Structure 1
Amino acid sequence: MNKNDSSYRIKVDREAEEGVSLVSENSSLLPGKFFFEYIPDIALIVKPDGQIVEANPAACTAYGYDREELLELDIFKLTPAYLHGLLLEQFKKAKRGGALVEMLQHDREGQDIPVEMNLQPVRYQDQLYFLCSIRDITHLLEILSKKDHLSWLTRMFTNIFMHITDGVMILDTEGHINEVNLAAERILNKKAAQMKGQPIGRILGIKTPYTNELLRRGKPYSDIEIFVESGGKNIQLTLTGNPVRDEEDRLSGGILFMRPIENIHNLVHRFTGNRASFQFDDIVTVSDNVLETIRLAAQAAGSMSNVLLEGESGTGKE
């Protein structure tokens, strides 16, 4: 490289026994000293034993020392003791062409500073120095921490979505199914792969005017009773729908919750104590009328049909 070259290189030069400063061979380009002093990252020049011989203003700000105080220290004074071995290894590695490491340093008050340290060897008059470019990565770690937290929340919400006992479907604004949970697969006796991308009306096998209003106008609905085909038989469900909106409050789809009526009946029986204590076979009779009544009752019990019992008070309708 000659002095007419458009590029420049940085070299180490002694400065009146006060340390080392960076200068440029080509004064028509950005001076090395100017670059050294005004870069936002911490910049130190140290000897192989760690003694600091130059520090830029960013280093003074980060560590809380003025320049003269830093030149009285070595880089190990700015590094937690348990990381001294790691730092020594990086210096050895840097001699062979540079080293990059993430580690901790600490300021004047002993507060830890997470940093990314880039060590590059520089020779001047047969003396080895290291140019240490050090970037405070506190903000980056905060971002990564928030990202980890968001990932954790995503996993939690996914687990809740997949394992909630109600069947759940997430729809886009056109009524196509985007996501299906395990309960919906079980209730409808269909795999998620069969349902994703399909119109909700095709999967439920019925017209869904309430869902259309939900997706067009954001109008929620609650506990609408419907019959759907599942595994070759019709089952009765309650369907609840709520709109999904984006960060700008624009309608972006809907979420449907489905629950078999049978589950609701079982829940009511559990809390009211109305679960039957006797079976039809427990009834002892030789009356043809009673036997016919038992036959009809058994037939009705096998369906979801409503049953009207007629009879005068005191005849045992309960």
Structure 2
Amino acid sequence: MLTGSTSECLLETEFTMEMTPVKSKFELDSLEAFLRTEDNMQSMVECLNNLITASHLAKRVSAALRIILSDDFLIQCAWLDDGSRINLKRYVNLQNLLRLIAKPGEHSLGRLKFENILKSQIDKAQNSMIHCRTIQESDSEFTVHSSSSSTNISETNPSNPEFCPVNTKEEFDRLEEFLSSDINMQSMARRINRLMSAQDAANRFTEALHIVVSDGFLNQCGWVSESKCLTRTGLQSYVNFQNLLQLLAEDSRHTLRKADLEKWIKTEIKQVKDRIRSNCLKKSVNM
């Protein structure tokens, strides 16, 4: 939530605005109250429009929701109250804000489509949290261990495997080496495939990418590395990683061209950078 005080939600400067995502029911209630006035609603719409680059209605709603609400809070929510979660349906002003973001100046998004987008984003937030928890599986999993002199692949306890996304270039390099074996590639694909729920190739690709690498690491990446930016990891050179994503996206039912894969990777990198930037601008707004 854009914060300053209970009644001041915006830091107005010509160049920068910060939005800190809602992390509690109290903050969501405060935001709902803040949005009751037309001036506050329009100020929030203007701020969010400056942060969102997507043009498709559904993608604009999804981007806005993930900027406004943190994933940690979103997993505590539901569209309808089930007695244990926060009922988003009762937050009418929040819904109106999201509709205005979908198509500025209009409330044109159909009710059912709007509800489905919110439900989908709640599910995605919950799934993303599951990826880093212990996952019970019946078959053996593999992990990559590194020392100063060698890199070894060993079996982990199949009753207690974990899958956490790559967070560093060192881990990413080890993953690329691990995937050079076809057996390891197939094992990793099976393992990740169990965590995925998307059906079409584009959404399967996006889901797989965010399972394999963290947003924090993706923010340090580009499609190609640049000599002027020594810390930027160029994903173009990680062929095994690309093959894994293509294998998961196609899933024996879809065909994914290399040109599409490159385009989607660039799009996801940009969206992650935009999202992180929107959450990490001037911290003084919270003071």
Q: Which has the larger radius of gyration?
A: 1
Check whether TM > 0.5. no
Q: Which structure is higher in RCO with an 8 Å CA cutoff and minimum separation 6? A: 2
Q: TM-score, normalised by structure 1?
A: 0.21
Greater fraction of residues in strand = 1
TM-score normalised by the chain length of structure 2: 0.22
